[in-house]
């Protein structure tokens, strides 16, 4: 759910555009958390009109090619996040910032769509994926054995340290 409705945003934007009050004063007057929120609304309205600040109830899915083009435009230094968002009618410039950082971290793989949700417990042929409980029990037994062995080795090291220190 959005915090501010479209009518409220329009009221704030129009008040700013009348020129009587600035971003900071508007944010204080209407209890908006940060002045940058007001700035974003004004910028969106100036570039895209009413559609720019209208509440969008849909998730936009952008293609890999589109994301790559946007990232390349930014990285070549031709445009800023905000100007790219305005030009391409993307309501939130931080989306572009995220694409750029993912591209820098993981390359093209970072821009590919990610699988969402919990992994399926069914295989593609319709059979349920079975959990090998005996394998889990064996692993737990081995873990306990290793913990015990580790304990005895730590004790042995402590004994050797004491003997070594007493020889000094």
pLDDT interval class at 145 (50, 70, 90): very high
Determine phi and psi for 122, rounding to 5 degrees: -115, 140
> Which pLDDT score is estimated for 98?
92
Residue 150 pLDDT > 50: yes
pLDDT interval class at 1 (50, 70, 90): very low
Residue (of 66, 55, 58) closest to 7 by Cα position: 55
1: which 2 tokens? 């759910």
Q: How far is CA 37 from CA 10, 11, 26, 49, 135, in A?
A: 13, 14, 10, 16, 54
Greater model confidence, 67 or 43: 67
Residue 28 pLDDT > 80: yes
Confidence (pTM): 0.51
Residue 57 pLDDT > 70: no
* 88-105: average pLDDT: 86
Report the alpha-carbon distance of residue 22 to residue 30 in Å, rounded: 12
């Amino acid at each position: 759910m959005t915090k501010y409705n479209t009518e409220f945003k329009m009221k704030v934007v129009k008040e700013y555009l009348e020129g009587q009050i600035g971003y900071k004063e508007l944010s204080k007057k209407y209890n908006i958390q940060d002045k940058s929120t007001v700035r974003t609304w004004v910028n969106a309205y100036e570039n895209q009109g009413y559609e720019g600040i209208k509440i969008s109830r849909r998730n936009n899915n952008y293609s890999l090619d589109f994301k790559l083009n946007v990232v390349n435009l930014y990285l070549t230094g031709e445009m800023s996040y905000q100007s790219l968002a305005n030009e391409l009618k993307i309501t939130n410039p931080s989306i572009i910032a995220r694409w750029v950082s993912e591209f820098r971290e993981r390359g093209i793989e970072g821009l590919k769509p990610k699988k969402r949700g919990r992994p399926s417990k069914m295989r593609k042929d319709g059979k349920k994926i079975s959990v090998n409980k005996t394998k889990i029990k064996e692993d737990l037994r081995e873990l306990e054995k290793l913990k015990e062995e580790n304990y005895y080795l730590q004790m042995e090291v402590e004994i050797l340290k004491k003997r070594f220190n007493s020889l000094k």
